[in-house]
Amino acid sequence: MAVGPATLPNFEPISGFRLGTASAGIKTPGRLDLVVMELTESASVAGVFTRNAFCAAPVTLSKKHLAAGQPRYLLTNTGNANAGTGAEGMADASGCCAKLAELVGVKAEQVLPFSTGVIGEKLPVEKIYAALPAAVDALSENGWEAAASGILTTDTRPKGASCSLEMNGQTVRVSGISKGAGMIRPNMATMLAYVATDAQVEQADLQALLSEVAERTFNRVTIDGDTSTNDSCMLVATGASGVVCAPGQAEWDQFAEAIESVLRELAQAIVRDGEGATKFVSVEVNGADDSAEALKVAYAIAHSPLVKTALFASDPNWGRILAAVGYAGVEQLDLEALKIYLGDVCIVENGGRAADYTEEQGQTVMNEEDILIRVELARGDVRETVWTTDLSKDYVTINADYRS
């Protein structure tokens, strides 16, 4: 079950970035579950990672290898998170890096590993070792679509975004894929996302850009409030187009917006494919004193099981939204000035139910697949938006049966 269109874009190939996908049979025989991404030697690489204290072994190792120098390969397996696996998990992640490095003729430190799947189980490294040659043989600049499928776990469909823009009379391309459907409150990025561009960007500028746009995109989605142990988002600039992009240039904002638009599309695709989701819900909070205050209110609504189950039932139970705003922790909240809307329908004003509100108006909004909940705090000029889903019976079933 998913909300909205499921089609992948026509991916713009990124010169200097190749993807190869194979089946290692890590959890399901014959399923695509191993992806190798090859970066040109001159590429700049940026990354943001989970803030979960129990971060997975591949996250720890990727951060270490990214800081050490020039990454050349990204290695992703699904079906097993290699998280909560202690020293043995670190050894297994290192072994996978070494095996791929030996195969392609680079240093092990130039391989960044990524894993997703069940937490607490030993990584079946022998299966990965056996499938690596096939993934390397499949490397192609047109390998985006297969890779989009190869990184999935409980997702019902692959997720991708792609665009191109003209800069200084030349074409710059951006493409990306992501995965995630449950255990989603990124707190940095998402479960896994990979975006590449053929622009030339210094590593420090690329890292600053990724950190900034991830905050406004992946850090604004939540399915269930759970932050994964394996969240990783990588941004690669190969430089193959020859177009130099740097802050302060006239066209930097145009380039930054292109990167942000791709990340936003990937982030929202995760919400639309949330486990058991039947609604795509935007929670918009306007008129806050600061961002933290706005997000308190937005997440109180987005994480409320009572609000989320009402959304699943298409029940305009506005009292649940009012209650969530009330317990969000905003100090000295002026209830008389606050307003709450379902779509364009005002449901709360002057401290209670809006005088003109009717159940029929609320029902019309709640019957839609895409729903906007808007809160006007009337305290300042800060605005934040969080994207989430309803909470369905299928979410419970999917997660109850996840390991079976």
Residues forming the active site? 190
CA distance 108 to 65: 9
What does each C-alpha distance from 168 to 242, 250, 266 come to in angstroms? 10, 10, 27
Tokens representing residue 373 in the block = 């909940």
The DSSP output letter for 314 is T
Single-letter residue type at 229:
T
**Are 334 and 375 in contact, with CB atoms under 8 Å apart?**
no
Spatial neighbors of 284 by CB under 8 A, at least 6 apart, are 298, 372, 373, 374, 375, 383, 384, 385
CA distance 147 to 19: 7
Q: State the alpha helices, DSSP H only, in 217-358.
A: 252-272, 291-303, 305-312, 318-326
Write the DSSP assignment of 323-379 as a string of letters: HHHHTS--TT--TTT-EEEETTEEEEETTEE-TT--HHHHHHHHTSSEEEEEEE--S
